[in-house]
Each structure stands twice: as structure tokens, then as C-alpha cells.
Structure 1
Amino acid sequence: MVEAEFVFPVASAAWSERHARGEVPGRWPYGLERLDRPDRPVRVTHLDAPSRGGRLAWRLSPRPARHDRLGLAWDEGTAHTMAVSRRYGRMHCGVIWATDQLERLDARSLAGVRRTLSAMRSVWVLSRGQLDAMDRLVDGGTPCAFVKFGVDEQFFSPAPYPDQPLLFSAGGDRDRDHESILTAFEQVVRARPHVRAVLQTKAVSSGRGVTIVPHLPHAELREMYRRASVVAIATRPNLHVSGMTVSLEAQATGRPAILTHTPGAEDYVDDGVTGFLTRPGSVDHLVERLIELVDDPARAAAMGRDARQRIEDDFTSRHLADRLAAAIGWT
């Protein structure tokens, strides 16, 4: 039986212990322990960032190990660490950031990304919007599959729809549009004084009528989803669907999600059914949709119920693991 390992950075080494204490979803990040089955065992391992010498040796001779051990990595950065370690004869990985950086990378950095991806047997992306960029990135050399994301529907369990309207937004990746979401929340609170708004971000320090929270651990984040009546995410143009995790977690708790309509976002929010997709950069459109749900809590609650059902039907961590298994040829 082939030995298989899912590789994570050392920084996530305590994840399983935190899960046992009820602090984070999934025994492994992203619930990927569901790939581990009696007939197909997978274990988790954590690797340090490669040394300068290791990176140089890989650049000069980018060859995998001469054995059958299989390595998996969630993103291209960890995939580089995995490849340089030369522990694995076969490797597969996800790609998140490189598709948005394709036009901005200098020649040396682009060559490094391509060197890492060319060592993979296959790669996957979480957004259909990345597929064209991946074609250019790997130039037909490495098979690429679109895999829909999923979340831990047990950790992010549903809660009754709240009586008090509360707008909530969370997340801090590089493509979040914090200014637009803050401006939209301020406008809604001004137009509907009974509405409260909370924004979790380190990018801004204050807002008129909006509570700013720099950080929320997973358990507290889950409680905010449950207290919220609407969860909204504004992003800048991107291909990897920034905000997909927050939108799915919110929907898992039974809340409608509002997400900027970047390429691929339609896979994660069913516009008009489980939430709304809004035009990139349009604060007015975002405000319109927020007020629409604030003014019609019955509709918002119904959307939340539909959202929870959609998560259970197609967007759990188990669905994600099954789709990853198919993408790497395990089915």
C-alpha cells in the first residue's frame, strides 16, 4: 500500500489538539482528515520552510524522490516546501495565489512557481475562474482540476435566526476590500439606526457606528455568525474567490451571505437563493442588498435555511475530501 501524507506548515502542528478542545473545525485544517480511510490511509505531517541550500539544490535539480511515497499540499507555497524536501516520489497540490499573481511575478519568481507545479502529478483549484490562468501557468504540462470547497458543517452548526438585525463581515486576505465593506456598513447603520454592524479586520481601526474587532478565534467567529442576520464580504477583483470560506461558514450556520461577484463566486453563493452576489467595487449595490435583507427578515431567514441545506447537500468537508480524492485519481 502506498504511503500518503498531507503536508502542512509547522505553524499548524497544534491544530489537532485545538480541535480536541473544540477551538477549531476539523481534526486537520480544512477537515482534510476525511481523506484518511482504512482502505486508503493518509497521515498528516508538518515540514519546516526549506533552507537556502535546499532551495538552491532544488532549483538546480528539480527531481522528486525515487520512491512511491505520495505527498499532498493545500497550496503552492507548501507544495514548494514539500518538493524541496525530496520526501515524496509523487505529489499533488492546490493552487490559490499564483493565478492572481501571474501578470505581476518577475521572471525568476514565475519560473520558481512553474518549477514547483511541474513536479506535481496534478493540481487543483477552488475556483473556476482560475482555470484559464492555470492553463497559461502550467502550459498544459500538469493536469488541473476544479474542486469545490467545503466546510465543517458540524462545527458551524445552524442557529435560530436572530431578532436583532446585525451585519457582520470577517476575513483579512490580501484581496479583501475593507474600505467598501466599512463604507457600506456605515451607510446602512445611518439609514437604519436599529441595525448593528461588526467588522472583523486589522486593516481599519474605527468606523462610524461600526464595531471593529481585530481578530476572532474560530469558536468566537462561529458565535458571531450565529448572532448575525446577514454576513457580507467585499473583495477586490481576484480569481480565487476571496471570501469563499467565510461565505460557506456563514451559510452553514443558516445565514444569507453577500459576496462580491468575482469569477467563480457563483459556485459558492446562489444569487437570490442563499444570498446575493454584488458588483465588484459597487458600494451602492452592496448597500442595496444589505438593506433589502435587513428590511425583510423573513426572506433573509428563508435564504439562511436554503443556504444551510445547500451546505449539507454539496459543501461539507466530506464533499471536499471526496472531490479531492477524485481529482488525484483515488476513485
Structure 2
Amino acid sequence: MRVLVVHNRYRSGQPSGEDRVVDREVALLAGAGHVVDRFERRSDDIAAMPLPRRAAVPLLVPWNPAVRTELRDHLLATVPDVVHVHNTFPLLSPSVVAACADAGVPLVATLHNYLQVCPSGTLYRDGAACTACVGGSPVPAVRHGCYRGSRVASVPMALNHAVNRRRWWSGVTTFFCISDAQRRVLLDAGMPGGKLVVKHNVVDEPASRRAGPGEHVLFLGRLTVEKGVRLLMTAWDELAAAGGTGLPLVIAGSGPLEDEVRGWAAGRADVRVAGLQDPAGCADLTARATAVVVPSTWLEAFGLVVVEAMAAGVPIVAAGHGAPAELVVDGVTGLLHEPGHAGSLAAALRAAVADPDRNARMGAAARLRYEEAFTPAAGLDALVAGYRSAISPAPGVPV
């Protein structure tokens, strides 16, 4: 097949799981003999724009007519079988949907978050789940400054949500949901169920897998409130007060809470802040972990860290909601804790590392689950099946 991948890459200073997923899928398709073209923009380019053009970027978030024209012309010149769109924010905009309609090319879209039903894409505000805009007006997002804590910055997001939601729902042939947990949320929010197909993200075979019991507990991710970093710090303090786990906590990543995390960890022998890691560094830390902790307080739509831990044969301690509750088989491939509850997280961490034999069994089961469902081969099969369905939908399937 001839496939055009449409994606707005994230800033390089904010490493993105979405970028990794896109690159992995492109490589899988090309390796299987499909012809893959890219139509991309890079958020890094915004900083180099002249000031007037940079100031106009928010105005183009809901609609970028130049992108519509450029993409339509590209489609007419190259004639792909299918277009696969990932992220359109902020430089592409939903005008890509209109361009595909102009050229008569079927369009599939991977939903990496909840932007279809929430202007901020997280269904999360002030430390708790929020559905104020779901199925209705996006005004609450502006009132609460849901995007970057700014009412002004939230206006383009809210406008985009208001004017383009139905365009997406009618113009896309197939939406790839990255977990069934995400699909259920979107279905309840009113998205067309016949277009929502679960296609999990996959990860490559790691360069190394865990050999032995591991040497630390690992948090690997963006240092934000919704990722559960503060919850983890509180839980770790509880563990330390009770004598600790006998293992250090390694925190790898960057984000708005990095200074707070470093301040908390300063002078402690039981915590090490590793900072932002490249892929090789992430893989090494994962392969040396006794357990990987994913204490997210928001409803994760997937969780690449979870699957990467599985691939390395490492058990996971995760919040029991959102996609992690779907990915982790409680008591088999890892342990689930009560979301947002530091005591429950502390107890799960203690249980995950206290019995080496049980930990080894969970790690082996996690690796088996990876082999069954999250390998590149499984991802390629699901991707191609989704494309073929979009190109030639079955009779009676709404498009």
C-alpha cells in the first residue's frame, strides 16, 4: 500500500511518546514493503519564525488554509491509498481532514489522547478527572484555563474543539483507539462507535532484558502532577518512615516538577534523580529495575512505559484506572493500586519487591504478555488490517 503519514512533531525538549509511536509505525510499514510518505510539521520550528508569524500560530490552531491547499496538492500528485493522521497541533490543524476529502483519499486517525472530547486532551483538572466540556460547550476550559493554566492560551483549543469536532467525526473513516479504556470513554462521550477500533501501541524488542532481581524501583516519565510524581514522593516517604524497601527509587525524566523533585531527593540515599534520558538510557534503567511504577492520577490513554517494562520482563506497579488497569493483570504481571491513594501505592510497592520469587514470576508473566500482544509483528498486522478496512469498508459500516 501507499500510505501518507500526517503528523505535527512535538518539541524536542519535551520528548513525546507520540513521536516514538509514529516513527516506529513508519519503520514497520517500510520494512514490510509498503511505500510510506510523510507530511509533517515540527513544533521546534516555531521558535525560529519571525515574531509576527509566531504570534499568529494560535490563530491557525483551529484552521490552517495554507496546509489544506498544500496537503490537497500533495495528495493529488502522489495518490496514496490511505492517509494516517496522528497529531495536528499546532501547525497543521484539522484542515488536513478537509484536504483528504478534497482529494478523495480515505483517512484514519490515531487518538493518542482525549482531544476529541476535551480541549486540553487530558480529561483532568485541578488534580481530578474532569468532564465539564464532554458533549457540550468548551467554555469551561477557557474559564478554568485548562491549557497551560492560561485562559488566553485555552481560547484556540476551545475554538478548535467547538468548530471541528463534528468535522473529525464525519471525515475520518476509522479512529484507532490505543486502548479499550480510551475507547469506552470516547464512546460514552458520543463519538461514533462504528468508527472506533482498538489498536494498541507496540514497542520494539529491547536491547536487553532483566537478568536477576533488579536493583532499583523506577519511575520513568514526564515530571508532572498528572503522572503521579507527587503521589509517588508521598508514598516513598511513607515507605521510608516504615524502614524502606531496601532498594533505591530512581526517577528519570524532566518536566515542570523537576526542581521540586530534585529538592525532595537532595541528600537522600534512597532516591536518585537521573534526569532526562535518551532511549538507550531508558532501556538500560528499565532492564535493571525490580519494578517500574506508573502512579498516574489521570486516565492514561495507553502507557508505553508499561509495555516497555513488560518487554524487559519487569513487573509494573500502576494506578488501577485508565489504560494501565487494562494492560497490567493485577497479581500476575504486576500490581494495581488505588488511584490517587499514597498508602495504597506504598503497599503495592512494598509487595512488589518484598518477595523475590513472586517478583520473578510476575516479570516472566509480563514478558509473556508482551510477546502475545505488543510485539512489532502484532502492531503491523493491526495497522494493515485497519488500513484495508478503511480503504474498502465492509457493507453497512458507516464511513
Q: TM-score, normalised by structure 2?
A: 0.67
2:5 aligns to what? 6
Q: Cα offset for 1:59? A: 11
1:144 aligns to what? 196
What secondary structure is seen at the aligned counterpart in 1 of 2:222? Answer: coil
1:34 has 2:18 as partner: no
Q: Which amino acid aligns with 1:33?
A: A
Tell me if the contact between 1:168 and 1:224 (Cα under 8 Å) persists in the aligned partners: yes
1:265 aligns to what? 324
2:50 aligns to what? none
Q: Cα offset for 1:276? A: 1.0
**Structure 1: stretches of 5+ with no match in the other structure:** 14-24
1:93 aligns to what? 109
Tell me if the contact between 2:219 and 2:251 (Cα under 8 Å) persists in the aligned partners: yes
Match of 2:219 among 142, 152, 169: 169
**Structure 2: stretches of 5+ with no match in the other structure:** 13-18, 44-56, 124-130, 140-157, 393-399
1:228 aligns to what? 289
Q: Are the structure 2 counterparts of residues 240 and 94 from structure 1 closer, same or farther at C-alpha, using a change threshold of 3 Å?
A: same
Distance 1:264 1:133 in 2: 11
1:185 aligns to what? 236
Q: Which amino acid aligns with 2:3?
A: A
Distance 2:85 2:93 in 1: 5
Distance 1:317 1:41 in 2: 15
Q: How does 1:31-110 map to 2 (within 5 A)?
A: 31-36=25-30, 41-48=34-41, 55-57=63-65, 67=76, 68-69=79-80, 70-75=82-87, 77=89, 80=94, 82-83=96-97, 89-97=105-113, 98=115, 99=117, 100-101=122-123, 103-104=132-133, 105-106=138-139, 108-110=159-161
Tell me if the contact between 1:118 and 1:138 (Cα under 8 Å) persists in the aligned partners: no
Match of 2:264 among 191, 200, 207: 207
Distance 1:7 1:205 in 2: 38
Q: Cα offset for 1:5? A: 1.8
Q: Cα offset for 1:262? A: 1.2
1:296 has 2:355 as partner: yes
2:246 aligns to what? 194
Tell me if the contact between 2:245 and 2:353 (Cα under 8 Å) persists in the aligned partners: no
1:319 has 2:381 as partner: no
1:122 has 2:174 as partner: yes
* Paired positions, count: 313
**Cα deviation 1:139-173 (Å, max 9, x = unaligned):** 43871111122211244x31202464x11101117
**Cα deviation 1:47-75 (Å, max 9, x = unaligned):** 226976792538999x9778552211234
Distance 1:186 1:42 in 2: 52
Q: Are the structure 2 counterparts of residues 306 and 56 from structure 1 closer, same or farther at C-alpha, using a change threshold of 3 Å?
A: closer
Q: Are the structure 2 counterparts of residues 269 and 96 from structure 1 closer, same or farther at C-alpha, using a change threshold of 3 Å?
A: same
What secondary structure is seen at the aligned counterpart in 2 of 1:183? Answer: helix
Q: Which amino acid aligns with 2:342?
A: V
Higher mean Cα deviation, 64-73 or 189-198?
64-73
Q: Are the structure 2 counterparts of residues 27 and 271 from structure 1 closer, same or farther at C-alpha, using a change threshold of 3 Å?
A: closer
Distance 2:313 2:176 in 1: 28
1:255 has 2:248 as partner: no
2:15 aligns to what? none
Q: Cα offset for 1:187? A: 2.9
Q: TM-score, normalised by structure 1?
A: 0.80
Q: Are the structure 2 counterparts of residues 44 and 160 from structure 1 closer, same or farther at C-alpha, using a change threshold of 3 Å?
A: farther
Tell me if the contact between 2:178 and 2:199 (Cα under 8 Å) persists in the aligned partners: yes
